Amino acid sequence: MKRIRGVLMKSDAPNFPQTLAEGPIDPPIDRVFEAPDASVADFKFGKKVASVFDDMVSRSVPFYGEVQRMVAEMVADYAVTGTHVYDLGCSTGTTFLGIDGEVAPGVKFIGIDNSHEMLDRCRSKLAEKPMAHEVELQFGDLNAGVKIENASVVLLVLTLQFVRPLYRDQLIADILGGMHENGALILVEKVIGEDSLFNRQFIKYYYEMKRRHGYSELEISQKREALENVLIPYKLLENREMLLRAGFRYCDTFFKWYNFTGMIAVK
Residues that constitute the known binding site for S-adenosyl-L-methionine? 64, 89-91, 113-114, 141-142, 224
The rounded Cα 59 to chain-centroid distance in angstroms is: 15
Asked if residues 138 and 110 have their Cβ atoms less than 8 Å apart, the reply is yes
CA distance 138 to 157: 17
CA distance 121 to 49: 11
Secondary structure class of 160 (helix, strand, coil): helix
First to last CA, the chain: 33
Asked if residues 229 and 179 have their Cβ atoms less than 8 Å apart, the reply is no
Binding residue positions: 64, 89-91, 113-114, 141-142, 224
HSE-CB for 5 with a 13 A CA cutoff:
13
Backbone angles phi, psi at 243, to 5 degrees: -65, -45
Task: Spell out the alpha helix ranges (H) of the chain.
Answer: 47-60, 64-78, 94-100, 116-127, 165-177, 196-212, 217-227, 236-246
